[in-house]
Amino acid sequence: MPLLQREKRICLGIDPFWSRLAMVATQDIALNNFFRRRIVIGRENLPLHGAVVLAPTHRSRWDALMLTMAAGRRITNRDCRYMVTRSEMKGLQGWFLNRLGCFPIDQGRPSLTSLRYAVDLLITRQQLVVFPEGKINRFGEPIKLKKGLIRLAQLASNTGLDIKIVPVGLAYSEVKPRFLGSSSICFSKPMLISKEFKQSTNDFNISLSKSMRSAEQSALLAVGRR
Protein backbone atom coordinates (compact mmCIF):
# COMPACT_ATOMS: atom_id res chain seq x y z
CA MET A 1 0.00 0.00 0.00
CA PRO A 2 1.50 3.40 -0.99
CA LEU A 3 2.52 5.75 1.84
CA LEU A 4 -0.14 8.37 1.10
CA GLN A 5 -2.88 5.75 1.05
CA ARG A 6 -1.79 4.37 4.40
CA GLU A 7 -1.41 7.89 5.78
CA LYS A 8 -5.07 8.65 5.08
CA ARG A 9 -6.04 5.74 7.33
CA ILE A 10 -4.04 6.92 10.33
CA CYS A 11 -3.53 10.71 10.23
CA LEU A 12 -3.75 13.80 8.03
CA GLY A 13 -0.04 14.13 7.27
CA ILE A 14 1.58 17.57 7.29
CA ASP A 15 -0.67 20.50 6.46
CA PRO A 16 1.48 23.26 4.83
CA PHE A 17 -0.50 26.12 6.40
CA TRP A 18 -0.71 24.75 9.95
CA SER A 19 2.87 23.50 9.95
CA ARG A 20 4.23 26.94 9.01
CA LEU A 21 1.99 28.62 11.56
CA ALA A 22 3.05 26.14 14.25
CA MET A 23 6.72 26.79 13.47
CA VAL A 24 6.30 30.51 14.07
CA ALA A 25 4.11 30.02 17.16
CA THR A 26 6.36 27.46 18.85
CA GLN A 27 9.88 28.39 17.78
CA ASP A 28 9.74 32.14 17.23
CA ILE A 29 7.25 32.99 19.96
CA ALA A 30 6.88 30.28 22.62
CA LEU A 31 10.48 29.05 22.93
CA ASN A 32 12.06 32.46 22.38
CA ASN A 33 9.96 34.11 25.04
CA PHE A 34 9.79 31.33 27.63
CA PHE A 35 13.44 30.29 27.81
CA ARG A 36 16.30 32.70 28.40
CA ARG A 37 18.75 30.30 26.73
CA ARG A 38 18.27 27.39 24.32
CA ILE A 39 21.48 25.38 23.98
CA VAL A 40 22.13 22.81 21.24
CA ILE A 41 25.04 20.37 21.66
CA GLY A 42 26.33 17.84 19.13
CA ARG A 43 24.46 19.15 16.11
CA GLU A 44 27.22 17.62 13.95
CA ASN A 45 25.87 14.19 14.97
CA LEU A 46 22.49 14.89 13.38
CA PRO A 47 22.22 13.10 9.99
CA LEU A 48 20.87 15.30 7.21
CA HIS A 49 20.09 12.43 4.87
CA GLY A 50 18.73 8.89 5.01
CA ALA A 51 16.35 7.16 7.40
CA VAL A 52 16.70 8.61 10.90
CA VAL A 53 15.08 7.83 14.24
CA LEU A 54 15.56 10.40 16.98
CA ALA A 55 15.44 8.69 20.38
CA PRO A 56 15.17 11.39 23.07
CA THR A 57 14.83 11.31 26.81
CA HIS A 58 11.43 12.60 27.90
CA ARG A 59 11.45 15.17 30.70
CA SER A 60 8.81 17.75 29.79
CA ARG A 61 6.10 18.69 27.33
CA TRP A 62 8.62 21.22 26.00
CA ASP A 63 10.72 18.33 24.65
CA ALA A 64 8.91 18.12 21.31
CA LEU A 65 9.29 21.85 20.72
CA MET A 66 13.01 21.68 21.53
CA LEU A 67 13.47 18.74 19.16
CA THR A 68 11.69 20.51 16.32
CA MET A 69 13.75 23.65 16.93
CA ALA A 70 17.05 21.74 16.89
CA ALA A 71 16.31 19.07 14.26
CA GLY A 72 13.27 20.24 12.32
CA ARG A 73 12.77 21.73 8.88
CA ARG A 74 14.79 24.89 9.50
CA ILE A 75 17.87 22.81 10.37
CA THR A 76 17.62 19.54 8.44
CA ASN A 77 15.20 20.60 5.69
CA ARG A 78 12.79 17.88 6.79
CA ASP A 79 10.08 17.53 9.39
CA CYS A 80 10.08 15.62 12.66
CA ARG A 81 7.44 12.90 12.36
CA TYR A 82 6.32 12.14 15.91
CA MET A 83 4.95 8.81 17.06
CA VAL A 84 2.65 9.71 19.97
CA THR A 85 0.26 7.93 22.31
CA ARG A 86 -3.42 7.69 21.39
CA SER A 87 -4.38 9.90 24.35
CA GLU A 88 -2.30 12.77 22.97
CA MET A 89 -4.31 12.74 19.75
CA LYS A 90 -7.56 13.73 21.47
CA GLY A 91 -9.28 17.10 21.80
CA LEU A 92 -7.89 20.40 20.50
CA GLN A 93 -4.28 19.24 20.94
CA GLY A 94 -5.02 16.17 18.84
CA TRP A 95 -6.63 18.32 16.15
CA PHE A 96 -3.37 20.21 15.71
CA LEU A 97 -1.06 17.21 16.08
CA ASN A 98 -3.06 15.41 13.42
CA ARG A 99 -2.11 18.18 10.99
CA LEU A 100 1.55 18.45 11.98
CA GLY A 101 2.75 15.02 10.91
CA CYS A 102 2.12 13.22 14.21
CA PHE A 103 0.46 9.82 14.28
CA PRO A 104 -0.92 7.69 17.14
CA ILE A 105 0.10 4.29 18.41
CA ASP A 106 -1.38 2.12 21.12
CA GLN A 107 1.61 1.32 23.33
CA GLY A 108 -0.03 -1.78 24.76
CA ARG A 109 -1.29 -3.21 21.48
CA PRO A 110 0.23 -1.35 18.52
CA SER A 111 -1.78 -1.85 15.35
CA LEU A 112 -0.19 -3.24 12.21
CA THR A 113 -1.31 -0.12 10.35
CA SER A 114 0.60 2.20 12.72
CA LEU A 115 3.74 0.06 12.60
CA ARG A 116 3.60 -0.26 8.84
CA TYR A 117 3.16 3.49 8.50
CA ALA A 118 6.19 4.15 10.72
CA VAL A 119 8.24 1.71 8.62
CA ASP A 120 7.04 3.44 5.44
CA LEU A 121 8.25 6.79 6.79
CA LEU A 122 11.71 5.30 7.30
CA ILE A 123 11.70 3.59 3.91
CA THR A 124 11.01 6.98 2.34
CA ARG A 125 14.00 8.30 4.33
CA GLN A 126 12.15 10.58 6.66
CA GLN A 127 12.96 11.60 10.23
CA LEU A 128 10.95 9.76 12.85
CA VAL A 129 10.81 10.72 16.54
CA VAL A 130 10.14 7.97 19.08
CA PHE A 131 10.34 8.54 22.85
CA PRO A 132 11.72 5.12 23.91
CA GLU A 133 10.74 5.59 27.56
CA GLY A 134 7.10 5.81 26.49
CA LYS A 135 6.18 8.58 28.95
CA ILE A 136 7.54 11.65 30.71
CA ASN A 137 10.19 10.70 33.28
CA ARG A 138 10.48 14.10 34.93
CA PHE A 139 12.80 13.24 37.80
CA GLY A 140 15.44 11.39 35.81
CA GLU A 141 14.83 7.93 37.22
CA PRO A 142 16.88 5.13 35.61
CA ILE A 143 16.07 4.99 31.92
CA LYS A 144 13.92 1.97 31.07
CA LEU A 145 13.28 1.52 27.39
CA LYS A 146 10.44 -0.29 25.69
CA LYS A 147 11.21 -2.72 22.87
CA GLY A 148 9.21 -1.00 20.14
CA LEU A 149 11.95 1.24 18.76
CA ILE A 150 14.48 -1.47 17.96
CA ARG A 151 11.82 -3.75 16.51
CA LEU A 152 10.58 -0.94 14.30
CA ALA A 153 14.11 -0.19 13.09
CA GLN A 154 14.72 -3.87 12.37
CA LEU A 155 11.52 -4.11 10.32
CA ALA A 156 12.70 -1.18 8.20
CA SER A 157 16.25 -2.50 7.93
CA ASN A 158 14.96 -5.83 6.62
CA THR A 159 14.21 -3.99 3.37
CA GLY A 160 17.96 -3.41 2.97
CA LEU A 161 17.88 0.11 4.36
CA ASP A 162 20.36 1.41 6.93
CA ILE A 163 18.60 3.07 9.88
CA LYS A 164 20.44 5.66 11.97
CA ILE A 165 19.18 5.94 15.55
CA VAL A 166 20.30 9.13 17.26
CA PRO A 167 20.28 9.12 21.09
CA VAL A 168 19.15 12.52 22.37
CA GLY A 169 19.29 14.06 25.83
CA LEU A 170 17.12 16.97 26.98
CA ALA A 171 17.49 19.03 30.13
CA TYR A 172 16.17 22.20 31.75
CA SER A 173 17.62 24.45 34.42
CA GLU A 174 14.77 23.35 36.73
CA VAL A 175 13.09 19.95 37.00
CA LYS A 176 9.86 21.63 35.93
CA PRO A 177 10.81 24.18 33.26
CA ARG A 178 10.25 27.75 34.43
CA PHE A 179 9.84 31.07 32.71
CA LEU A 180 13.21 32.60 31.74
CA GLY A 181 15.02 29.39 32.64
CA SER A 182 17.43 27.58 30.34
CA SER A 183 16.93 24.54 28.11
CA SER A 184 19.42 22.25 26.44
CA ILE A 185 19.41 19.43 23.92
CA CYS A 186 22.32 17.12 23.08
CA PHE A 187 22.64 14.78 20.07
CA SER A 188 24.92 11.74 20.44
CA LYS A 189 26.57 9.83 17.61
CA PRO A 190 24.09 7.72 15.62
CA MET A 191 23.74 3.99 16.18
CA LEU A 192 23.44 2.06 12.92
CA ILE A 193 20.84 -0.66 12.36
CA SER A 194 21.31 -2.65 9.15
CA LYS A 195 20.03 -5.91 7.74
CA GLU A 196 23.09 -7.65 9.21
CA PHE A 197 22.37 -6.33 12.71
CA LYS A 198 22.77 -9.22 15.20
CA GLN A 199 22.65 -7.58 18.64
CA SER A 200 19.86 -8.74 20.94
CA THR A 201 17.02 -6.35 21.80
CA ASN A 202 18.08 -6.20 25.45
CA ASP A 203 21.74 -5.51 24.62
CA PHE A 204 20.77 -2.82 22.15
CA ASN A 205 18.46 -1.15 24.66
CA ILE A 206 21.24 -1.16 27.26
CA SER A 207 23.59 0.56 24.78
CA LEU A 208 20.91 3.04 23.72
CA SER A 209 19.93 3.92 27.29
CA LYS A 210 23.60 4.53 28.20
CA SER A 211 24.03 6.82 25.21
CA MET A 212 20.79 8.68 25.98
CA ARG A 213 21.87 9.10 29.58
CA SER A 214 25.31 10.36 28.52
CA ALA A 215 23.67 12.89 26.19
CA GLU A 216 21.37 13.98 28.99
CA GLN A 217 24.32 14.49 31.35
CA SER A 218 25.90 16.83 28.80
CA ALA A 219 22.62 18.71 28.49
CA LEU A 220 22.28 18.94 32.29
CA LEU A 221 25.79 20.36 32.68
CA ALA A 222 25.00 22.98 30.01
CA VAL A 223 22.11 24.32 32.11
CA GLY A 224 23.99 24.15 35.40
CA ARG A 225 22.66 20.85 36.76
CA ARG A 226 24.21 17.45 37.39
54 phi and psi, to 5 degrees? -85, 125
Q: How far is CA 28 from the centre of its chain?
A: 20
pLDDT tens digits, one per residue of 119-150: 999 999 999 999 998 888 877 677 778 778 88
Q: What's the predicted TM-score (pTM) here?
A: 0.92
Residue 209 has pLDDT above 70, yes or no: yes
- Of the pLDDT bands very low, low, confident and very high (cuts 50, 70, 90), residue 8 is low
Parse the chain into domains and list their residue ranges. Answer: 3-222
Q: How many CB atoms lie within 10 A of CB 183?
A: 28
Q: Give the CA distances from residue 159 to residues 2, 7, 55, 115, 188, in Å, rounded to whole numbers and listed in that order.
A: 15, 20, 21, 15, 26
**3-222 has which CATH code?**
3.40.1130.10
pLDDT tens digits, one per residue of 143-163: 778 778 888 898 899 888 999
Cβ neighbours of residue 203 under 8 Å, at least 6 residues apart?
Answer: none
Share of the chain above pLDDT 70, in %: 95
| Predicted pLDDT of residue 226 | 80
| Predicted pLDDT of residue 4 | 64
The overall average pLDDT reported for the chain is 90
